Structure 1
Amino acid sequence: MRATLRWAHADLRTHRGEALFIVLATAGVVASLLLAAALFGYATNPWQRVFTQSHGAHVWIHAGPTADTRRLADMDGVQSVAGPYPTAVTTVESRGTRASVELRAAAEPPATGRPLLTSGRWLDPAQTDGVVLESSLARALWAEPGDILTLPGPTRTLTVLGVADSAEPRYGPGERPGLVWALTPLVRSTVGHTGQVIGLRLTDPGDTDYAVQRAVTLLGARAVTDVAPWQQARAEAQGDNRLLGQVLGLFGLGALIAAGLAMHGAIGTRIRGHLRDISVLKAIGFTPSQVVRIFLLQHVAYALLGAVLATSLTQVLGGRIPGRLGDAVTVWQGAPGHTAALVSVPVLAVLFIAATTGLAAWRAGRVPPVPGLRAAAPPGDRLPRLARRALGLRIPAGLVLGWHKVFTRRPRSLATAARLALPLLLIVVAMSAWTTIDRFDTRPEEMGLASTLTVRPDESLGEPDVKTLMARNPDITGVHAGVQVAALVPGQTGTIALRGLGTRKDPYPFSVVEGRPARGPDEAVAGQGLLDLLDVRVGDWVRMTVGPQPQILHIVGRSIEPANGGRVISTPLDTLRENDPELRPTLYRLQLRPGADPHRVAAALTADAQGRFDVHPVSNPADGLSPLRAVVAGLIVVLALIGLIELLTAIGGMVREGERDLLALKAIGLAPRQITAITVTATACTALAAVLTGTAVGLPLAHWLIDAQGRSSGIGAGIAQGPPAALLALFVAAAVLGAAALAALPAARAARLRPADTLSAGG
């Protein structure tokens, strides 16, 4: 054991840089996996915590004011109910920001679906104008306890008493009203669309769809206006955090495999370079198992050190990372499974690295005590015809022999290029993810975001008045009138968004990636989420119910639809007016000139309309993915570090082989500069093959992965965007030139060795 430790110590002193890189690469991989675990936990735990603590309802059913919703409590499978509560939909304003809200009468916190106060206090019967806001609505209004909200009408105000978390679907501007709890007299006296809501907590959450179907049948389809199952609320709460976790987990696993293969190559190269040392170890009495343990334990120790370093840094500094990533780590550290993940992830990473290095270490145990002599044949012998012709054309001998060196050791060169190609491939995928996120910002019209602002005017304004006011603003280049209503899907198990937008003469520019735009009567385009929900395809007809009116539409295209999880079907406003000629637009989508400031345009519109416009920016999924840029940048650094390890290993192997051939190369008249060029050219050719392979495989893989994520999120395939050609060319050039630069110095040193110094390298 003492001799083993002494040999390991001497080897560490000789290869400090390589050991440091292995430790740092392992630390980066383990840190990526731990952050992925944190984001996965953050994606589900907050909503699950609120749902569990509030004894949440599995489905919330909104119905008309005359529906007998109390009958639902007697249905089989219903464990408890929340309500029914009278509701009134209206609009509130705070600090110039408007929001559509649902006032819900609840004098006492209910046992089922109980709001969890985060600040302030609950409703007070002595303060009749007091309300409690759901937290997402409070953030949208920038409202806190003590603030005053304004209701439509003469000087009607509300006082915010508290802010509470709820497991119900969160507030979405223009899509879903925010939730406000108020006293019953206040709700009944509010002018607006009235109704009632009841929450059902089921004995089996998996029977939610069946329970909804029975509830709608019991109440009547015309009485039900909206259905919100728990799966929808959970999906909205998870949102972009799940995507962050998936991306980080994918790259973390890919980087783990790349690191394992790099270490496998490092041990293999080290064994080939230390055949004489291994023979000496065996000659002095080391058994094959002892030799295997020397190499295996040495690299496992590097991996273990890196894993401990990553775990410590993540635990101590992870919560201080700015933005959502730091919040995720903080929440994850308080989760029940935090300790288990904190231990199991590093342990599994180290075991995986040990498994990938075991085979190469096993090869060390098979080295004979007296290795066979290696004949040093001049590289100029048996040159292929192409190489001889290149030399005849006076191409520098160093370039030709370097290229020939790569192709004469084809199996080893292919293995090195394949190991180096893996991290480069993942870098290409990471760059594609970055470019796709930027595409939402730079070319939103291609990502289903043709409009920038949504305007909802007061009912007192007619369509001509609205367009006249908008025509005064030179920053507005397009105005499309529309409506959006909730519709019951076939089977009546949930609701979707039915949108009438634009007209046949002035169609809205949807981003149609499959099929064609809707041009004729009863034609529509749909998002991926709706196609998956209804299990239909482009070309099918679908039937839905809007209040008492059925609507049958022919899906002629699939559009990229970022809103509502893609559960949206869109048709020209003309189609909806055929069923209801009195239908008036309730919203307007605005297109702005390039470079226009949406906030300034919104403020100008509100001022021109004297407060009769409710203006909101169209939500962009890229806003929630902003932390992903920093994550992708960090992953690129980790992958580049792993690629650097593999490249240094390859350079070390080529330099050692060059030392063995030094006498032969000098015998045929090559100068040290030409000998250096052989190693540099061989390294550059290997890097070129790896980066071309990584790019060729990485681009289609990135498109497939990003589009698969788009399909699973409901946005739909067609959002993937590869890096610009100039960036890819720069990436290829940087990889090849960087590899050549790294090889230049060690190759030059080896070329200047004295002949006597190379005699000991023939083992």
Structure 2
Amino acid sequence: MRAAARWAQAHLRAHRPAAVLIVLATAGITISLLLATALFAYATDPWQRAFTQSSGAHVWIHTRAGTAAGSLAGLDEVRATSGPFRTVRTTASLQPGGAKATLELRGTAKRPATAAPQIVAGRWLDADTDAGATKGIVLDSSVARAMWAKPGDSLVLSGIAAHLRVVGVADTAEVGFRAGESPGVAWVLPHTLAASDAGGDQRGRTIGLQLTDPADTDYVVQRAVTRLGADQITDVSTWRQAKADAEGDNQLLGRLLGLFGLGALLAAALAVGGAISTRVRGHLRDIAILKAIGFTPGQVVRMFLALHLGFALLGVALGALLTQALGTLVPGRIGEATALWRQLPEHAWLPWVISGGVVVFIGSATCLAAWRAGRVPPVPVARAATATGGRASGLTRRALGLRVPPALVLGWRSAFHRPLRSSAAVARLAVPLLLITIALGTWTTLDRFTSHPENVGLPAALTARSDTLGERELGQLLASQPRTTAYPGAEVQALIPGQTGTITLRGLGTEAQPYPFAVVEGRAAHGPDEAIAGQGLLDLLDAHVGDWVRMTVAGHPHVLHIVGRNIETADAGRVVSTTLDTLRDDDTAGAAPAGSPPPRPDFYDLVLHDGADPGAVRDALTKASAGRLEVREIPNPADQLSAVRAVSLALIAVLILIGLAELATTVGATVRDRSRDLLALKAVGLTPRQITGVIVSATAFVTLAAAVAGTALGLLASEWLINLQGRTSGWGTGIAQQPAPAILLLVIALAVTIAATASVLPAARAARRRLADSASDLL
């Protein structure tokens, strides 16, 4: 036991920098995996918690006012219902002069038992307190955040003469408010709803269905459509949509952390295994002596395993402690996710499982190398005195004949004259560089969203709408702005074939002024009945570019020819877009009730000219319209992923630590191998400086091969992974952006420079060794 302890102590003194790098890298890996798990919990568990606490509904059916929605409670698959509620679609504005939002008012005398809103601020409606002149309203938290509304604020609602006071804010498990896409939910007393003078097309009913088996969601929706009639249903939302909406971009951030955490774990395991193998080859005499004095093969194996498992345990403990102590202090969603994760039941055991998994994985990678140490014979075998590999190749002789510096020629030969060993070293160094390239690709793709949003489906920076300005007056106002181009648009909800869900049918731009969609497959829509679709819609309908698709709007069919696919970041890509002319032609051809005028644009998307500032344009339009025009900035997904940049830097730092640890192993192996050739190198006339150059160039060539292979594979993997994320999120492929060649060349140059610099001092020491010392390395 004392001998093992003394050997471990001497080993640590000899390899102190590499040991520190391995510990720090393991700590970084542990932090990455723990934060990834916390972000996944943050992305999904808040919705699950709200759904469980509120006894949420799996399906919400929105119908016309006269529909017998209550009959759906009799379906065999329905366990309980919330409602049906009488509803009114209205527009609310915060007073004085605040933000506006579209609301679905639900009239209810008491808080429902199923899908019960969970009050997070203020209180619920009270029939006595809120029945007077000052009427109360409870807002869903998503629309309250969008309007910056809080209990005590006053709202003005179109169609209701009296102001309404916000008395409470509640969390629900329904699809949240999104400006221009889905209205916010609000609750009022029945007599407040009855006071609205909204027309019949703005009135309706809403019922929530809680199912015995959530897997029956699509079947129940189909049965509901069959029972009520497709022309009576205006919208359908399910728990799957609400969950996906709640996950948002946190899931992408969690996937990124998890991917790099697992990749870094693999790189660290390879680095540790390579380090042990190299040290076994470099300490064959020491191991033989240990066996000669009585150490069994099992004791040698356990000694190596114990030492490197100690490194892993120390690194894992350091990473877990840092995450526990400082995780909640990280600004942004990472800190919020860590704080929330601590409140969940699985936090009591999941960090232990993750930490233990890291230790087991690294330990498994060290077993093979440690097993090789146990097989070293007690009597060392003499090695060949010519480690250089025998007769020089023709290429080597020609290079020397061309007066290429001998250090470079011999360094190249030294780096690759053992193909298997050289390939293993290149592969271990290439893994961190591959992951660094993927991180750079992620960063570059986010920069593309920010600097060139028109290339990723976001050509418009602002959207404008008004309930008071006429269509002609609004068009003239927007056309008077020299820094923008306005495209009229309208959106309706449509039922998909099979009537199991809803999609967004959008008319945007005109045939004379087509909207600049980012079409990545097929072509833009020009003729009548032509449309382009997002990836989410194509996946939902199992359709492809070139197919004809049928959808139902208010009971009337629309048949469109999909001629292209665009990058669509809204509504998980479940959007089919055509021109406003086509949408109007379908309405006048019979999709709208007889005698009704063609629909006016619901909004205008504003594409800014180069150099125009969105804030300045918004202020100018608001001032020119005397406050009658509502102008909003269109959200950019990159704004919600700002934490990815900091995460990428942290992950690159962890990968650099792993790369440095592997580089220390490579340098040590090169120096050891070349040390046995000192007699031969000096015999042929090489000076100590040239011998140093041989060792340095050998290390640089191995690193160059790893850097080129890692960056090349990283480019392919980065594009594939980012486009895969785009496809699964519904945005579609074509969003990936590769790093600039100059950045990749800089990464390669830095890797080779660091490798060469790190090997200079060990190489110089080896070159200055006396010939007698070198002869001892023959064993």
Superposition TM-score tier, normalisation by shorter sequence? over 0.9
CA shift digits 1:459-506 (9 cap, x unpaired): 5411x3112111232221x11111011111111111100000111121
Are 2:429 and 1:452 equivalent residues in the alignment?
A: no
Q: Give the SS at the match of 1:424.
A: helix
How far did residue 290 of structure 1 move?
A: 1.0
Say if 2:311 is the partner of 1:271: no
Which of 379, 390, 397 pairs up with 1:388? 397
Note the 1:318-329 alignment, pairs <5 A.
318-329=327-338
1:223/1:378 CA distance change after superposition, 3 Å:
closer
* Shift in alpha-carbon separation, 1:357–1:154, aligned structure 2, 3 A: closer
**Paired AA for residue 118 in structure 1:** V
Match of 2:594 in 1: none
Give the aligned length.
761
Match for 1:474 among 479, 482, 499? Answer: 482
Distance 1:183 1:594 in 2: 50
Match of 2:187 among 181, 184, 187: 181
Distance 1:422 1:508 in 2: 44
The residue that corresponds to 2:727 in the other structure is 711
Contact conserved, 1:513 with 1:560, CA < 8 A, in 2?
yes
* Corresponding position: 1:14 with 2:17: no
* Alignment of 1:247 onto 2:256: yes
- Deviation at 1:73? 0.9
Q: In structure 1, what is the Cα distance between the partners aligned to 2:294 and 2:389?
A: 41
Any conservation in 1 of the 2:160–2:196 contact (CA below 8 Å)? no
Matched, 1:157 2:163: yes
1:330-369 alignment to 2 at 5 Å?
330-369=339-378
2:591 aligns with: none
Match of 1:287 in 2: 296
Note if contact 2:550-2:559 (Cα within 8 Å) is conserved in structure 1.
yes
Q: Is the 8 A contact 2:160 2:197 kept in 1?
A: no
How far apart, CA to CA, are the structure 2 residues paired with 1:545 and 1:589?
25
> For residues 749 and 755 of structure 1, what CA distance do their matches in structure 2 show?
13
Which amino acid is the alignment partner of residue 107 of structure 1? Answer: A
Segments of structure 2 that go 5 or more residues without pairing to the other structure are 589-597
Q: 2:521 aligns with which of 514, 524, 545?
A: 514
CA distance in 2: counterparts of 1:3 and 1:105, whole angstroms: 81
Q: State the SS of the aligned residue for 2:619.
A: helix
Of residues 465-474 and 642-651 in structure 1, the stretch that sits farther from structure 2 once superposed is 465-474
Residue 196 of structure 2 corresponds to 190
Q: 1:702 and 2:718 equivalent? A: yes
Please, which moves more after superposition, 8-17 or 373-382?
373-382
Of 479, 490, 498 in structure 2, the residue corresponding to residue 491 of structure 1 is 498
Instruction: Look up the match of 1:137.
Output: 143
Partners in 2 of 1:154 and 1:241 — Cα distance?
Answer: 39
Match of 1:749 among 745, 765, 770: 765
SS at match of 2:420: helix
Distance (Å, rounded) in 2 between the aligned partners of 1:14 and 1:578: 81
Kindly state the Cα deviation for residue 511 of structure 1 after the two structures are TM-superposed: 0.8
Identify the residue that residue 39 of structure 1 maps to in structure 2: 39
- Measured in 2, the distance between the counterparts of 1:398 and 1:750 equals 15
TM-score computed with the length of structure 2 as normaliser: 0.96
- For residues 327-346 of structure 1, the C-alpha deviation after alignment (integer angstroms, 9 at most, x for no partner) is 11111111111122111111
Identity among equivalent pairs (%) = 57
Once residues 14 and 149 of structure 1 are traced to their aligned partners in structure 2, the CA distance between those partners, rounded to angstroms, is: 73
SS in 2 for 1:104: strand
1:570 counterpart residue number? 577
| Maintained 8 Å contact 2:719/2:738 | yes
1:65 counterpart letter in structure 2: A
Give, in angstroms, the shift of residue 435 of structure 1.
0.8
In the alignment, structure 1 residue 588 sits paired with structure 2 residue 597: no
CA distance in 1, matches of 2:508, 2:166: 36
Alignment partner of 1:304 out of 310, 313, 316: 313
Contact 2:30 2:316 in 1 (8 A): yes
Q: Does 1:23 align with 2:16?
A: no
Q: 1:89 maps to what in 2?
A: 89
1:379–1:665 CA contact under 8 A, matched in 2: no
| 8 A Cα contact 1:88 1:191, kept in partner | no
Q: Which residue of 1 aligns with 2:649?
A: 633
Provide Cα deviations, 1:300-349, integer angstroms capped at 9, x if missing partner: 11001111111111122111111101111111111111122111111111
2:460–2:605 Cα contact (<8 Å) kept: yes
Moved more, 571-580 or 682-691: 571-580
Q: Say which of 249, 257, 271 aligns to 1:262.
A: 271
1:101 aligns with 2:117: no
Per the alignment, residue 742 of structure 2 pairs with: 726
Cα deviation code 1:263-315 (max 9, x no counterpart) = 00000010111111111111111111111111111101100111111111112
- Structure-2 separation of matches of 1:453 and 1:185: 38
Contact 1:106/1:181 (<8 A) preserved: yes
Question: For 2:130, which of 127, 130, 134 is the aligned residue?
Answer: 127
1:541: which partner in 2? Answer: 548
Counterpart secondary structure, 1:524 = strand
- Aligned partners of 1:190 and 1:702: how far apart in 2? 54
Give the 3-state SS of the residue equivalent to 2:231 in structure 1: coil
The answer (yes or no) to whether the contact 1:145–1:162 under 8 Å persists in 2 is: yes
Secondary structure of the corresponding residue to residue 230 of structure 2: coil
Match for residue 567 of structure 2 among 548, 555, 560? 560
1:415 shift after superposition:
0.6
Change in Cα spacing, 1:33 to 1:662, as seen in structure 2 (3 Å) is same
Deviation for aligned residue 1:30: 1.3
Structure 1 gaps, min length 5: none
Deviates more, 1:123-132 or 1:36-45: 123-132
Paired position in structure 2 for 1:418? 427
1:106 Cα deviation (Å)? 2.1
1:597 is aligned to 613
Residue 303 of structure 2 aligns to a residue in which SS?
A: helix
Provide the residue aligned with 1:65 in structure 2: 65
Aligned Cα root-mean-square deviation (Å) = 1.4
- Matched residues in 1 for 2:703 and 2:579: separation? 54
2:501 partner amino acid: G
SS at match of 1:454: strand
Name the amino acid aligned to 1:119. A
Amino acid at match of 1:517: A
Shift in CA distance, 248/154, structure 1 to aligned 2, threshold 3 Å = closer
What amino acid does structure 1 have at the position aligned with 2:504?
A: A
8 Å CA contact retained: 1:60, 1:200: yes
* 1:761 corresponds to: 777
Question: Which residue number in structure 1 is paired with residue 665 of structure 2?
Answer: 649
The DSSP-based 3-state class of the residue aligned with 1:583 is coil
Give how far 1:580 is off.
Answer: 2.2
How far 1:754 moved relative to its partner?
2.3
Do 2:387 and 2:676's aligned partners in 1 also have CA atoms closer than 8 Å? no
Query: What is the identity, as a one-letter code, of the residue corresponding to 1:106?
Result: T
Look up the equivalent residue of 1:304 and give its one-letter code. L
Secondary structure of the residue that 2:130 maps to in structure 1? coil
2: distance between equivalents of 1:672 and 1:339?
59
Q: 1:414: Cα distance to partner?
A: 0.7
Q: Write the deviation string for residues 207-227 of structure 1: whole angstroms up to 9, x where unpaired.
A: 011111111111111111000
- Partner residue of 1:171? 177
Counterpart amino acid of residue 670 in structure 2? M
Any idea what SS the aligned residue of 1:505 has? coil
CA distance in 1, matches of 2:369, 2:637: 46
Partner deviation per Cα, 1:328-379 (whole Å, 9 max, x = no partner): 1111111111122111111111111111110011111111112122233284
Q: Which amino acid aligns with 1:99?
A: A
Secondary structure of the corresponding residue to residue 222 of structure 1: helix
2:177 is paired with a residue whose SS is coil
Aligned to 2:535: 528
Q: Which moved more, 1:592-601 or 1:672-681?
A: 592-601
